[in-house]
Amino acid sequence: MQRQLTAIIEKEGDGYVSLCPELDVASQGDSIEHALSNLREALELFFETASPEEIGTRLHEEVFVTRVEVAVG
């Protein structure tokens, strides 16, 4: 079974941090590709080890990522 999840990746120091907001699972890597690969591995491990109850509690079915304009200063 396959599931589409969101990955947010941002530069942090010399590396990258990756986050899946649907499950609040994060990872990191030296490059964007490594951060994404490590997040995929962390998510697969989560689904392998978590109980159905934990998955149901943590999984947010609808996550919207957008940009917002705000006044600064």
Q: For the segment 39-72, what is each residue's pLDDT rounded down to a tens digit?
A: 999 999 999 999 999 999 999 989 999 999 999 9
Query: Model confidence at 5, in pLDDT bands (50, 70, 90)?
Result: very high
In a domain, 67, yes or no: no
Of 59, 54, 8, nearest to 32 (Cα)? 8
Q: Is 16 exposed, middle or buried (0-12, 13-18, 19+ CB in 10 A)?
A: buried
Q: Domain total for the chain?
A: 1
Q: Does the predicted model carry a pTM greater than 0.75?
A: yes
Residue 72 lies in a domain: no
- Residue 1 scores a pLDDT above 90: no
Range of the domain at 42: 8-58
SS3 40: helix
For residue 73, is it within any domain?
no
Q: Note whether residue 70 is domain-resident.
A: no
Average pLDDT, stretch 25-48? 98
Kindly report the average pLDDT of the chain as a whole number.
96
